[in-house]
Amino acid sequence: MRDVRPAAVAGTFYPGSPATLAKTVRACLDAATAARGPAPKALIVPHAGYVYSGPIAASAYARLASVRATIRRVVLLGPAHRAYVRGLAAPSVTAFATPLGVIPVDVEAIASLRDLPQVVVDDAAHAHEHSLEVQLPFLAFVLDEFAVVPFAVGQATPGEVAQVLDRLWGGPETLIVVSSDLSHYHRYDEARALDRASADAILSLQATLDHDQACGATPVNGLVACARRRGLSVDLLDLRNSGDTAGDRSRVVGYSAFAFTETAAT
């Protein structure tokens, strides 16, 4: 058993060179149009190659500048694309490698969930999964020291996801990040309409997305259910698609970024 999961998509989804990757992430953050605003408790960000979705993800990560020294744990959830998972799969490793350094896994947090039947340990679900990995260089760049609690989400209910989030919610030291793209392979105008409807559902805190609307619909719905119950506010930071960022508008993938903020009442 390896203690460190090696980077699986460095050099494909994002640059494998540390210098080039840092330059790419910095350029995305510098261009972010939604950098100002309150520090978020949770984010929804996309997970395509950086040339496609990096600018949209950066609009969310730029919001973390004021809390880079406060956040010590990131609960990271994304859909399992490459392996069947029943429930939420955590890894057995103690760290994830990235070109920007090694990020420790909060193994104690994962162990604290061993009584939940939907939480399983499955390294196969993480071995080639990009939905979580592409978030790590951004997190490594915008935060100081932190550990990650990564889950590849498969066949599960939003309620099962929400139960895990509630257990790990914590205080200002904990950030929740849900990784999801929106619609896949529609023509540009059709995708814009579909993704706008999905964004409106999230903005109204309706946990109703299906997997045609968002590949990460299950973790998104789980987060939205928690946010609604806990009285969080939500802001749409960016809503575009690959036709906006990479040019080809014949078959596009939709991307969005949201920030969820705890109010004084919570």
168, pLDDT greater than 80: yes
In-domain check, residue 96: yes
In-domain check, residue 186: yes
Q: Which domain holds residue 133?
A: 4-261
Average pLDDT over residues 103-131: 97
Retrieve residue 261's tokens.
Answer: 């903020």
Average pLDDT over residues 108-123: 97
Contact (Cβ atoms closer than 8 angstroms) between residue 178 and residue 186:
no
The model's pTM: 0.96
pLDDT at 33: 66
pLDDT single digits (tens) 174-223: 999 999 999 999 999 999 999 999 999 999 999 999 999 999 999 999 99
Where are any strands of DSSP class E within the chain? Answer: 4-5, 42-45, 73-79, 88-90, 95-98, 101-104, 119-121, 147-153, 174-179, 184-186, 233-241, 252-261
d(CA 85, CA 156): 9
Average pLDDT over residues 46-53: 97
pLDDT at 174: 98
pLDDT at 1: 44
pLDDT at 245: 96
pLDDT band for position 34 (cuts 50, 70, 90): low
In-domain check, residue 145: yes
Retrieve residue 198's tokens.
Answer: 């999905």
CATH number of the domain encompassing residue 242: 3.40.830.10
In-domain check, residue 266: no
d(CA 210, CA 216): 9
pLDDT at 35: 61
State the number of CA atoms in the 13 A half-sphere of 229 facing the CB: 13
140, pLDDT greater than 60: yes
Question: Mean pLDDT for the chain?
Answer: 95
pLDDT at 37: 79
The domain tally of the chain equals 1
Average pLDDT over residues 53-65: 96
State the number of CA atoms in the 13 A half-sphere of 257 facing the CB: 22
pLDDT single digits (tens) 37-46: 789 999 999 9
Percent of the chain with pLDDT over 70: 97
d(CA 112, CA 92): 14
d(CA 71, CA 152): 22
pLDDT single digits (tens) 69-85: 999 999 999 999 989 99
pLDDT at 247: 81
Retrieve residue 103's tokens.
Answer: 């990020």
2, pLDDT greater than 80: no
Read off φ and ψ for residue 44, nearest 5 degrees: -115, 130
Retrieve residue 22's tokens.
Answer: 């840092």
d(CA 245, CA 232): 30
